[in-house]
C-alpha cells in the first residue's frame, strides 16, 4: 500500500477513486463516461450544479457571492485577480510570506502598481503581525496566501482590512481544511489539485459587487463577469476534474464536513510536529510555532541546514516502506510531508513511526 504525501497533485480519498472507477464507463446512468459528455448537456449540468451546491453548503457561502469554476490553476488566478480588480484604483497591497504570494505579486505588477506591505525576507518562516504592515488605504485590494505550500507557513489569523478594501486570498493548499467566514473576503480562490480534486480546476468565490471591475484588456477566459454570465461554461470546462471534485465534496460532507476536516488536520499535524519537537534537535522545523502549516510540514534532518546523506537515506527508507513524494521543494530542500484532507490519521502515524525509528537508529 502506497501512501502519497505529495504537495500536489496530491492524494485523493480512496472512496472517491473507487466511485470514479465504478462509474468511469457509465456516469450516473448516462451510458457514457463523464469525459465524453457535452458540457452543454443536461447530464453534465447535474454534475456541475451538484458540485456547486455542495460547496456552497460546506462553506455556508452567502447568497451575494458567486462560485466560478475556471482553468489555469493558482498561477492563472495571479493574473485574473489583478486583471479583474486592480483597475479599481490602479494599485494593490500584497502580503508576501512565501514563494506563491511572491509570484502573485510579480504577476500583478504587470497590470498595476503593487505595494509590498512587508520588507523582503531572506527566508519565509513567519507571518509578521498585522500591526507591522504598511497598508495603502487606496489599494484596490489586499492579497495574501493563507498557506504557503513550499515553506509551510500558514496564517493563524484573518487580516483585518478597511471595509472599502476587498480581501483576496489564495487558499489553494488549505481549502476546505477549516471553517472560514466567507463574508470577510472579497475573493477566495483555490486550485483543486492540492486538497479537493485533480489538477485542472480552480474554484473562485467572488463577492458579486466585485464582478465587472475588470480591465478592458482582460482575456475572456480570465474575466469574472463573463464566466459568471456563462455559468462557468464560457469555454469547455475540465468536466472530469469537476466531476471528481464534486465527489470529494460529498466525501467531506459524509466525514464531518469542514469542521471534521479541521479536527483531522489538527490531529495529523500535531503528530508530526510533536515527533519533530521531541527529537532533541535531530529533526528541525524552521517555522515559528504559531504559523506552522497543518497541511505542509517541512523539516530537515541533523541541523537547520540539513544533512544530505541522512535525508537521502530517510527518503529512500520511506519509499521502501511505501511512503512516497516526501522530498522537499527544490527551492528549500529537505523533507516535506503534505497532510491534506485525504491523508488519514493512520497513514500519518506510519510516517511518525518511521521518523521515530530513524531517529533512534541515527541519533548518535
Tell me which residues are annotated as active site: 100, 170, 194
Place of cell 453534465: 44
Give the span between the Cα atoms of 176 and 146, in whole angstroms: 12
| Lookup: cell for 40 | 452543454
In the chain, how long is the greatest CA-to-CA distance? 65
- Length reported for the chain: 364
Give the span between the Cα atoms of 172 and 21, in whole angstroms: 26
Q: Return the HEC string of the chain.
A: CCEECCCCCCCCCHHHHHHHHHCCCCHHHCCCCHHHCCCCCHHHHHHHHHHHHHHHHHHCCCCCEEEEEECCHHHHHHHHHHHHHHHHCCEEEECCCCHHHHHHHHHHCCCCEEEECCCCCCCCCCCCCHHHCCCCCCCCCEEEECEECCCCEECCCCCCCCCCCCEEEECCCCCCCCCCCHHHCCEEEEEHHHCCCCCCCEEEEEEHHHCCCCCCCCCHHHCHHHHHHCCCCCCCCCHHHHHHHHHHHHHHHCCCHHHHHHHHHHHHHHHHHHHHHCCCCCEECCCCHHHECCCEEEEEECCCCCCHHHHHHHHHHHHHCCEECCECCCCCCCEEEECCCCCCHHHHHHHHHHHHHHHHHHCC
Place of cell 460547496: 55
Amino acid at each position: 500500500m502506497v501512501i502519497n504525501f505529495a504537495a500536489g497533485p496530491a492524494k485523493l480519498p480512496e472512496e472517491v477513486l473507487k466511485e470514479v472507477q465504478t462509474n468511469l464507463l457509465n456516469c450516473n446512468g448516462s451510458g457514457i463516461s463523464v469525459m465524453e459528455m457535452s458540457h452543454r448537456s443536461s447530464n453534465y449540468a447535474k454534475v456541475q450544479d451538484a458540485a456547486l451546491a455542495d460547496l456552497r453548503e460546506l462553506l455556508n457561502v452567502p447568497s451575494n457571492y458567486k462560485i466560478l469554476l475556471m482553468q489555469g490553476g493558482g498561477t492563472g488566478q495571479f493574473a485574473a485577480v489583478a486583471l479583474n480588480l486592480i483597475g479599481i484604483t490602479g494599485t494593490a497591497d500584497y502580503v508576501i510570506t512565501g514563494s506563491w504570494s511572491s509570484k502573485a505579486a510579480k504577476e500583478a505588477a504587470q497590470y498595476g502598481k503593487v505595494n509590498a506591505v512587508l520588507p523582503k525576507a531572506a527566508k519565509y518562516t513567519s507571518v509578521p503581525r498585522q500591526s507591522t504592515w504598511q497598508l495603502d488605504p487606496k489599494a484596490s485590494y489586499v492579497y495574501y496566501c493563507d498557506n504557503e505550500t513550499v515553506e509551510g507557513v500558514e496564517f493563524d489569523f484573518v487580516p483585518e482590512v478597511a471595509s472599502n478594501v476587498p480581501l483576496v486570498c489564495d487558499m489553494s493548499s488549505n481549502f476546505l481544511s477549516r471553517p472560514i467566514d466567507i463574508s470577510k473576503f472579497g475573493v477566495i480562490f483555490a486550485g483543486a489539485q492540492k486538497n479537493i480534486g485533480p489538477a485542472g480546476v480552480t474554484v473562485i468565490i467572488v463577492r458579486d459587487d466585485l464582478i465587472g471591475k475588470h480591465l478592458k484588456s482582460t482575456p475572456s477566459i480570465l474575466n469574472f463577469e463573463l464566466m459568471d454570465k456563462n455559468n462557468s461554461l464560457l469555454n469547455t470546462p475540465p468536466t472530469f476534474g469537476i466531476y471528481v471534485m464534486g465527489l470529494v465534496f460529498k466525501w467531506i460532507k459524509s466525514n464531518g464536513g469542514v469542521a471534521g476536516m479541521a479536527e483531522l488536520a489538527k490531529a495529523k499535524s500535531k503528530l508530526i510536529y510533536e515527533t519533530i519537537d521531541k527529537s532533541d534537535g535531530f529533526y528541525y522545523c524552521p517555522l515559528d510555532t504559531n504559523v506552522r502549516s497543518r497541511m505542509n510540514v517541512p523539516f530537515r534532518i541533523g541541523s537547520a541546514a540539513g544533512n544530505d546523506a541522512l535525508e537521502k537515506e530517510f527518503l529512500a527508507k520511506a519509499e521502501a516502506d511505501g511512503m512516497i513524494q516526501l522530498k522537499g521543494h527544490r527551492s528549500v530542500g529537505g523533507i516535506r510531508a503534505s497532510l491534506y484532507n485525504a491523508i488519514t490519521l493512520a497513514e500519518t502515524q506510519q510516517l511518525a513511526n518511521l521518523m521515530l525509528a530513524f531517529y533512534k537508529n541515527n541519533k548518535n
